[in-house]
């Protein structure tokens, strides 16, 4: 016998009970994005590797070690399974000239792939809902995106999500800061570990993410980014904070929040939960005004975020917000010669009128069919036996209360089912 094959590590099946929760979350997320004026865009799962190398940055964890990349054997192209959506979204906006008559608000959803070490809340295939506001320079849109998230958490009944906020200035300001930070780190070389030493020159801001207490101590005494910001950057940050106050969205400024992708400038933010263990960030984003030009497009300011569905679904489950699997309205049984065709037509007519109907399949006696009807959660059993067939009728039997069953002529069945479901 063949040994059964298993799913790839870090790539999960979502089984029907859990998938119902996902559907509930996705319906809420899609309606919410559209309500805020964001329009759906769908990008391919596979892109040229160069796109991510350029957008996310060579010296990031994602590009250095987490991408699923390969060379297409047929034409030699270097390809990558997308590790995130922003790069593709901007590539598509440039390719299709989406900003030709003004800024655009876009959203996307779907699986992303990163070859990380799997653990609770961290997978190799995971799912994001992302929003990108393209062509808007002001802090008003930064605030819009952050407040949007706050309102979604409220709507979903999720509590305890903290907002962490920072600004990393303009590229010029960051370059000056970077030089001084390298100086500070070098002066404390003896206390840095191998990982921090490796990042020191390639991507010194990432040293902030170190969990090593010795390194953290060096980081705590690092120069303060705020002191490197010019007037325009400070005004942007203040403008954002004012709007967050107006919306009564609380936040904590975290000067060590730098994010793991290189395209950001000015605003960066993360929504974090304490209930998810080490992988507590449910949503991250920020401004990336340089990305259009970096990818060969006409320069355009932009800002966005992406949220991790797996982590949000865990929080929804914990909050007892699991939407229940919707039970069918009716389960149609049949037994005897010629009854299948009759029952088939009844089920079809009911579905055409908008009801959820399961047609019994797989044979079996009346008793076992009734058991299946009951287990399906259906409100009504519709029974077609030889007796009913001869009379051109259907027996309607309520399964969830003590109402008596009745025989209903075939032409009246849709109307009677509707009355039954309304409690009549």
Give the range of 17-25, 126-134, 171-179, 341-349 binding ligand HAM by CB under 6 A.
Answer: 126-134
Rounded to a whole number of angstroms, the minimum distance from the CB of residue 227 to ligand HAM is: 26
> Would you call 364 exposed, middle or buried from its count of C-beta atoms within 10 A (0-12, 13-18, 19+)?
middle
289 makes contact with ligand HAM (CB under 6 A): no
Give the range of 194-202, 204-212, 298-306, 327-335 binding ligand HAM by CB under 6 A.
Answer: 298-306
122 makes contact with ligand HAM (CB under 6 A): yes
Nearer to ligand HAM, 289 or 329 (CB): 289
Rounded to a whole number of angstroms, the minimum distance from the CB of residue 126 to ligand HAM is: 3
Q: Which residue is nearest to ligand HAM (CB)?
A: 308
Rounded to a whole number of angstroms, the minimum distance from the CB of residue 70 to ligand HAM is: 19
126 makes contact with ligand HAM (CB under 6 A): yes
End-to-end CA separation in angstroms for the chain? 55
Q: Cβ distance 259 to 60 under 8 Å?
A: no
- The sign one gets for the Cα dihedral 165, 245, 321, 34 is negative
Q: What is the dihedral of CA 212, 216, 219, 224, to 10 degrees?
A: 140
Q: Phi and psi at residue 240, in whole multiples of 5°?
A: -65, -45
- At 260 the three-state DSSP class reads coil
Report the candidate in 322, 314, 311 with the shortest Cα–Cα distance to residue 21: 322
Rounded to a whole number of angstroms, the minimum distance from the CB of residue 261 to ligand HAM is: 6
Nearer to ligand HAM, 306 or 379 (CB): 306
The size of the interface with ligand HAM (CB under 6 A), counted in residues, is 27
Per CB under 6 A, the list member of 24, 57, 286, 301 interacting with ligand HAM is 286
Give the footprint of ligand HAM on residues 235-274 (CB under 6 A).
260-261
Per CB under 6 A, the list member of 132, 144, 289, 393 interacting with ligand HAM is 132
Under 8 Å CB-to-CB from 382, ≥6 apart: which residues? 330, 331, 332, 333, 343, 346, 347, 350, 394, 395, 396, 397, 413, 417
86 makes contact with ligand HAM (CB under 6 A): yes
Give the footprint of ligand HAM on residues 304-323 (CB under 6 A).
304-308, 310-311
Rounded to a whole number of angstroms, the minimum distance from the CB of residue 134 to ligand HAM is: 10
- The sign one gets for the Cα dihedral 229, 286, 60, 77 is negative
Rounded to a whole number of angstroms, the minimum distance from the CB of residue 120 to ligand HAM is: 10
Q: Phi and psi at residue 265, in whole multiples of 5°?
A: -145, 165
Report the candidate in 332, 334, 330 with the shortest Cα–Cα distance to residue 386: 334
In the complex, which residues of this chain contact ligand HAM (CB under 6 A)? 84-86, 114, 116, 122-123, 126, 128, 130, 132, 260-261, 281-286, 288, 304-308, 310-311
């Amino acid at each position: 016998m063949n040994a059964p094959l298993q799913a790839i590590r870090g790539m999960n099946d979502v089984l029907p009970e859990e998938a119902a929760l996902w559907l509930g979350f996705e319906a809420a997320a899609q309606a919410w994005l559209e309500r805020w004026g964001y329009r759906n865009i769908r990008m391919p799962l596979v892109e040229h590797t160069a796109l991510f190398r350029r957008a996310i940055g060579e010296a990031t964890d994602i590009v250095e070690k987490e991408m699923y990349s390969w060379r297409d054997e047929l034409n030699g192209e270097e390809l990558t399974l997308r590790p995130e959506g922003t790069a593709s979204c901007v590539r598509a906006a440039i390719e299709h000239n989406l900003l030709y008559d003004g800024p655009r608000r876009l959203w996307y959803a779907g699986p992303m792939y990163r070859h990380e070490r799997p653990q609770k809340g961290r997978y190799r295939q995971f799912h994001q809902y992302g929003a990108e506001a393209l062509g808007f320079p002001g802090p008003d849109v930064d605030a819009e995106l952050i407040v949007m998230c706050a309102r979604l958490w409220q709507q979903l009944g999720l509590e305890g999500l903290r907002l962490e906020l920072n600004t990393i200035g303009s590229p010029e300001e960051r370059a000056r800061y970077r030089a001084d930070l390298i100086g500070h780190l070098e002066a404390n070389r003896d206390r840095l570990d191998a990982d921090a030493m490796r990042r020191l020159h390639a991507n010194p801001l990432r040293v902030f993410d170190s969990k090593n207490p010795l390194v953290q101590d060096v980081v705590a005494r690092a120069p303060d980014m705020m002191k490197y910001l010019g007037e325009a950057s400070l005004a942007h940050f203040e403008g954002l904070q004012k709007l967050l106050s107006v919306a009564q969205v609380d936040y904590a400024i975290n000067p060590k929040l730098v994010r793991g992708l290189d395209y950001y400038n000015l605003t960066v933010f993360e929504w974090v939960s304490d209930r998810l263990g080490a992988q507590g960030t449910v949503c991250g984003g920020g401004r990336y005004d340089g990305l259009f030009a970096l990818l060969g497009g006409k320069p355009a300011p932009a800002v966005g975020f992406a949220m991790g569905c797996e982590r949000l679904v865990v929080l929804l489950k914990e909050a007892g917000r699991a939407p229940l699997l919707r039970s069918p309205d009716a389960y149609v049984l049949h037994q005897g010669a010629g009854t299948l065709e009759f029952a088939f037509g009844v089920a079809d007519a009911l579905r055409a009128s908008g009801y959820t109907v399961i047609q019994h399949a797989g044979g079996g006696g009346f008793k076992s069919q009734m058991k299946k009807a009951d287990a399906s959660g259906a409100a009504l059993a519709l029974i077609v036996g030889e007796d009913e067939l001869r009379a051109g009728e259907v027996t309607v039997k309520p399964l969830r209360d003590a109402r008596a069953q009745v025989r209903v002529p075939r032409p009246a069945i849709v109307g009677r089912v509707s009355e039954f479901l309304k409690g009549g």
